[in-house]
Structure 1
């Protein structure tokens, strides 16, 4: 399959926003460069009008210029080895690919082979979720990771002492990648495939993690409420700081109270507690 390649020059503070926006319209591969980002989409499913709408929204404030090309199927693993850097979340966790050496001075280490999957720790939402997880007692808890992607949050839950961790994603490619990463980190679970309504998790959980996007979160909050134990925690991210009020408007009538907010590069994360 051929891919369309767009080399986007933009202001640094807009890189993560553009990656998030483009990931929702069919782009599945991203590389950060010194001048901006390189993004890739399968040519057979590319919708130019939708792409141009996103770009036009940010073109002026982000000072965007674009060079377009077409490439044959890329060895994404090789590209990641050239461009993927480890991530340090305070002294809590060091996230590295298997081709990087270990690093001392961290409480935990996560090893992933990201294969261009969204949720590697580089994005502000994943970074914040990892940090907030480190502030919550996971010892002996039952944890559900909704839309798990690379599986990084589920792995973090395991490292923090969770007794049982479950995870799923709607993308079969993410499921395959996530299961590989679980094995790399000695987590003996298998990621499920489907939406939360299709997977139908059973019972209740001490902690539910959902790093997706605003529209999905709003649609699924009622389901999360049925799954979080009384006194349990719901961690949310994948939306902008300006979206917090909309989410809380739905979450509060479902019995959630806001415990903590977090912000990084205009992206937000929330810790909610079930009454």
Structure 2
């Protein structure tokens, strides 16, 4: 699979967070921020479906974008030179297979550096991983919605979750999740499902993790609420501070009470709880 990198020149760093939030509504799978530039990666075959809308979005924000083709065989080499391990509060280390193993006794997740979102480097993935560590998932059944590489589902299983469903609409992410589950020795306790929120109809979860974006969260929250066991936890990220209140109001209408809000580098997380 070939990818396209959209390179957007920025006049100020704050633009990167705003544009990333908007571009996440399209099939971009990964983002990188550097001083003065935002890089967004999308499968070449999916760009044609949204290029006009993306160009209009950039024009509205007064920025220019340049599309650069990336050959698949060059991608892994790029990641190997730009993929440092991620430390989450000193309690969890997310690394690639080419990094040194975590010292004995430390919790780690090994992620193959592919295009699928969820290498641990983005602030929202770190927020969600931190939430998983504190959620008390041992013995519980959970859902990782928009799972990407499956890193959050794997984190929950490493924390003792009984079973995880990992749902993503993208076939590349689905394959990546399966690969990483096997790599971390949890394949027997994870079910990777390629699909959207409709695929969880009739299923029941003690907790749900959803690191997606505001629009999808608002549209799919009724499905999450229907699948959540009484007193269950729904943890959401992938949005900015301005989105906290609309998401909280949506959750409240569905009988879910907000119990926690957290932020990192401008990105936000909300934890809500169902009624018992």
Same fold, judged at TM 0.5 (above): yes
CA 1:132–1:78: 2 relative to 1, 3 Å: same
**Counterpart-to-counterpart distance in 2, 1:195 and 1:68:** 28
Is 1:56 equivalent to 2:55 in the alignment?
no
Q: What residue number does 2:153 align with? A: 154
Please identify, of 242-251 and 148-157, the stretch whose mean Cα deviation from structure 2 is larger: 242-251
Root-mean-square deviation (CA, aligned residues, Å) is 2.5
**Counterpart-to-counterpart distance in 1, 2:94 and 2:196:** 27
Structure 1 contact 95–121 (Cα < 8 Å) conserved: yes
Following superposition, the deviation at residue 237 of structure 1 comes to: 0.9
CA 1:244–1:253: 2 relative to 1, 3 Å: same
> Which runs of 5 or more residues in structure 2 are unaligned?
none
Q: TM-score normalized by structure 2? A: 0.86
Following superposition, the deviation at residue 246 of structure 1 comes to: 0.8
Q: What residue number does 2:263 align with? A: 263
Q: TM-score normalized by structure 1? A: 0.87
CA 1:246–1:168: 2 relative to 1, 3 Å: same
> Which runs of 5 or more residues in structure 1 are unaligned?
none
SS at match of 1:216: helix
Is 1:89 equivalent to 2:58 in the alignment?
no
Please identify, of 251-260 and 23-32, the stretch whose mean Cα deviation from structure 2 is larger: 23-32
Structure 1 contact 32–83 (Cα < 8 Å) conserved: no
Q: In the TM superposition, what are the counterparts of 1:1-275 in structure 2 within 5 Å?
A: 4-10=4-10, 11-28=12-29, 30-33=31-34, 36-42=37-43, 45-46=47-48, 47-59=50-62, 68-104=67-103, 107-188=106-187, 189-200=190-201, 202=203, 204-275=204-275
Structure 2 contact 25–215 (Cα < 8 Å) conserved: no
